[in-house]
Structure 1
Amino acid sequence: MADRPRILCLDDEAYVLDGLRRYLRVNYDVVTTTQPQEALDLLGADEDGSVAVVVSDMRMPQMNGVAVLEQARRISPDTTRVLLTGDADLHSAVAAINQGNVFRFMLKPCPPDDLKATVAAATEQHRLVRAERELLEATLKGCVDALMDTLGMAQPALFSRAGRLHRLVERLCAKLGVADAWQIEMAAQMGEIGAITLPPTAIPVLEGGTPKSDAEAEMLARLPHLADSVLARIPRLEAVREIVRHQLPTDRNPMTPLPEDAPEGARLLQAVREYDALVWRGMPPDLAVATLSSRKIHDRETLRVIAEVGGLRLPNEAVREVTIDDLTIGHELAGDVYSAKGMLLVARGQVITERLLIRLRNYEMTTGLQGRILVVDL
């Protein structure tokens, strides 16, 4: 019973809700309310997106159905919206379609068979939207992870930062309950892809975010635009591109906020990038958060959660040495790993994946490894 689709019904007439519940309860988990704000609150509290369909009356004292469904669309975009009204008003129908993006527009009294057919179609629409979203997220995430993993092996010093940013953004979004967090996480990774254009001398500049010349400053400032040009070739990443495009250099002077039209995801990622740059230069995490707070350009709740999740560890804190045999997938490196001939294989800050582990073991068996392997001691 618990896995039945959930239908949220809103009407200011209790007897109408009784009828909807009676017709639908056999196949659905029906939730009813006479209060528009309560319906919106229920949608807002539905973190797992279990409300498949919302059926709203048109004419109610506190708020009309178009306004309810318009807000419902923003709160829970995957939930299918159905408007139920006793007025065959063309203006209302047009408003419902344009503003609330309703799936169906039904007239009272609605025959039970028509109601059931409409709710069944709306439920299927919700399933298709969720399936498409999950497929898109999983496919893109898998492709990006594979790409960044490969680039991390080819250019370990360049892409260790992308891994650090991704992990911190992931933890931050989970704590904040951010919707569509995958878009910000992908922006954190792919926003660094422009770094492949940097000369070797500029790699330390990228990690610390502090250029030593105007030429290096210009190179860093161009990176979001270079990343955007790469992302432009991948369909359906408009939201990710928007986040990347709004990123500013972490050393800008003065420390200006992002433009007012910047999406919230861009603001969150900008705070993480500035925090990462401060910590990676050697600033203690608590002082880094205090520094960001003093700039008065970042959301206080974002900074509070950055402090709560602990951020990035300093390379010399809580580390231990392991052998190549003890190194496992998921270990976070606290130091660079070099081959016996001095080639950088994996940079500090990277998390060991299956491919990185195979790479290190192959080098250990052939040319050998140089120095110690240090990992973060969780």
Structure 2
Amino acid sequence: MMPEVGMFRKVLLVDDDENILQGYLRNLRRGFAVQVATGGAEAIRLLESQGPFALLVADMRMPGMSGLELLEVARMKWPGMIRVMLTGNADQKTAVEAVNRGQVFRFLNKPCLPEDLARVIEAGLRQHQLQEAERELLEKTLTGSLQVLTDLLSLIDPPSFGWSQVVKERARIVAQSLGFGDIWCLEIAALLAPIGRLALPREVAQATLSDDRLPMKEYEMLRRVPEVGANLLASIPRMEGVVEIIRYQSKGFDGEGFPEDGVRGEDIPLGARILRPLLDFMAIERIRGDKRVAMEALKLKGECYDPAVLQAVEACLLGHAAPGPVLHTVLPCPIRSLQAGHCLAENLTTATGKVLLHAGTHLRPPHLLLIRDAGDLLGLQEPAYIVPEGE
């Protein structure tokens, strides 16, 4: 989401000389939304309480926290904010440190005329607006790409999509118990873990849903599903972490499994180490219908899993911390009344009992077309059951 227009012109000036600050303030406040701070600590308080700011101008030499230290903190905590340094010490070492540590946009020598500072601030604000526009475009591209992929998976392989939604919720709970920071990345990886199945021939994809042993050729196709999925996603911006989790989702903690690259133990991405036992757990639970049986089966192959992750999976799914069922209000809805935005509370099935769309699917226009066509050709069991909006 793009920031408010006013935010694009919010500027924070930091200098320990109040007379200099007041002079700048008088000359700049007609063109910019300027606030001032007399030191690094005060500046950080303003950035936290009055932000976001588009641009920060800091004097190099200040008592306590130096301007360089302030810019370095700002770079880490507010990376999208443009940073400018003012200094009376124009030596090369200072300039190099400012660029390397603070990643400054401009470097100005004191004394600096107000009109010169205004020109630099204007240029910095234009740069900030370009950055924000690019960020919004990337976010929309990412959101749209993910929506297309999840739509495809839910339409072409409804069983896998339904199971991946369960794995996604479990992965979030396990990750939180382990203190894993990038929950969004893990949830997307869990949801798209089976995306490589879209490249399987239909008969092979159907055969993998049974408990029968696959012939070697089909087994090798299935074994490469993580690689295919990772390659499908690799060109989408900001998906690097998701791609690595999906690539290593089948990798054993002992180094066995795909990809055969010698990576093992804690060198495997933590997200993949979380996903591996949860996917295996889901596969066994689906066939045997018992969580405790699934957990015991995982323990028999303990070398395949990170011990800390396996312990967290058991605690979260079977222990006292295991979440109880989430209770929602469920409403019957005639098939013809289903709309984009509705969430299915139960599987939507054909007249013969075949699952068309799994519970948890948020309906979008492609789903409604599928429902219409399937209803005309196969007939659908009435009514559908949905979760009201807001639950």
Once structures 1 and 2 are overlaid, which stretch shifts more, 125-134 or 157-166? Answer: 157-166
2:54 aligns to what SS in structure 1?
strand
* Separation of aligned partners in 1, 2:359 and 2:52: 41
Kindly provide the CA deviation profile for residues 233-276 of structure 1, in whole angstroms up to 9, marking residues without a partner as x. 44553344345456578x989xxxx94895xxx65x97799789
**Unaligned stretches of 5+ in structure 2?**
255-264, 292-306, 317-321
2:342 maps to what in 1? 331
* Separation of aligned partners in 2, 1:193 and 1:33: 51
* Separation of aligned partners in 2, 1:261 and 1:88: 46
8 Å contact from structure 2 (residues 142, 237) kept in 1:
no
Q: CA deviation at 1:179?
A: 11
8 Å contact from structure 2 (residues 163, 282) kept in 1:
no
Is residue 3 of structure 1 aligned with residue 9 of structure 2?
no
Question: What letter corresponds to residue 200 of structure 1 in structure 2?
Answer: Q
Kindly provide the CA deviation profile for residues 138-165 of structure 1, in whole angstroms up to 9, marking residues without a partner as x. 0221122123212311111122345567
Q: CA deviation at 1:200?
A: 3.1
Are residues 184 and 371 of structure 1, via their aligned partners in 2, closer, same or farther at CA, if it must alter by over 3 Å? same
Are residues 313 and 331 of structure 1, via their aligned partners in 2, closer, same or farther at CA, if it must alter by over 3 Å? farther
2:302 maps to what in 1? none
Choose which of 57, 67, 73 in structure 1 pairs with 2:69.
67
1:20 maps to what in 2? 24
8 Å contact from structure 1 (residues 52, 80) kept in 2:
yes
8 Å contact from structure 2 (residues 142, 236) kept in 1:
no
1:200 maps to what in 2? 206
1:43 maps to what in 2? 47
Q: CA deviation at 1:24?
A: 1.8
* Separation of aligned partners in 2, 1:135 and 1:312: 39
1:349 maps to what in 2? 360
* Separation of aligned partners in 2, 1:236 and 1:354: 26
8 Å contact from structure 1 (residues 156, 347) kept in 2:
yes
- What does 1:114-133 align with in structure 2 at a 5 Å threshold? 114-133=116-135
1:291 maps to what in 2? none
Are residues 317 and 109 of structure 1, via their aligned partners in 2, closer, same or farther at CA, if it must alter by over 3 Å? closer
Once structures 1 and 2 are overlaid, which stretch shifts more, 79-88 or 229-238? Answer: 229-238
Q: How many residues in Structure 1 have an aligned counterpart in Structure 2?
A: 340
2:298 maps to what in 1? none
| TM-score, reference length from structure 2 | 0.69
8 Å contact from structure 1 (residues 335, 348) kept in 2:
yes
Q: CA deviation at 1:87?
A: 0.7
Is residue 361 of structure 1 aligned with residue 351 of structure 2?
no
Once structures 1 and 2 are overlaid, which stretch shifts more, 82-91 or 333-342? Answer: 333-342
8 Å contact from structure 2 (residues 85, 108) kept in 1:
yes
- What does 1:218-257 align with in structure 2 at a 5 Å threshold? 224-234=226-236, 237-242=239-244, 244-245=246-247
* Separation of aligned partners in 2, 1:169 and 1:28: 46
Q: CA deviation at 1:94?
A: 0.7
2:82 maps to what in 1? 80
8 Å contact from structure 1 (residues 168, 311) kept in 2:
no
- What does 1:280-319 align with in structure 2 at a 5 Å threshold? 318-319=329-330
Are residues 162 and 297 of structure 1, via their aligned partners in 2, closer, same or farther at CA, if it must alter by over 3 Å? closer
Are residues 58 and 168 of structure 1, via their aligned partners in 2, closer, same or farther at CA, if it must alter by over 3 Å? farther
Are residues 2 and 226 of structure 1, via their aligned partners in 2, closer, same or farther at CA, if it must alter by over 3 Å? closer
8 Å contact from structure 2 (residues 167, 278) kept in 1:
no
* Separation of aligned partners in 2, 1:270 and 1:312: 24
* Separation of aligned partners in 2, 1:261 and 1:85: 46
Question: What letter corresponds to residue 370 of structure 2 in structure 1?
Answer: R
Q: Name which one, 1 or 2, has greater alpha-carbon Rg.
A: 2
1:130 aligns to what SS in structure 2?
helix
* Separation of aligned partners in 1, 2:170 and 2:234: 25
Q: CA deviation at 1:52?
A: 0.5
Question: What letter corresponds to residue 206 of structure 2 in structure 1?
Answer: P
Is residue 34 of structure 1 aligned with residue 2 of structure 2?
no
8 Å contact from structure 1 (residues 332, 351) kept in 2:
yes
* Separation of aligned partners in 2, 1:224 and 1:179: 23
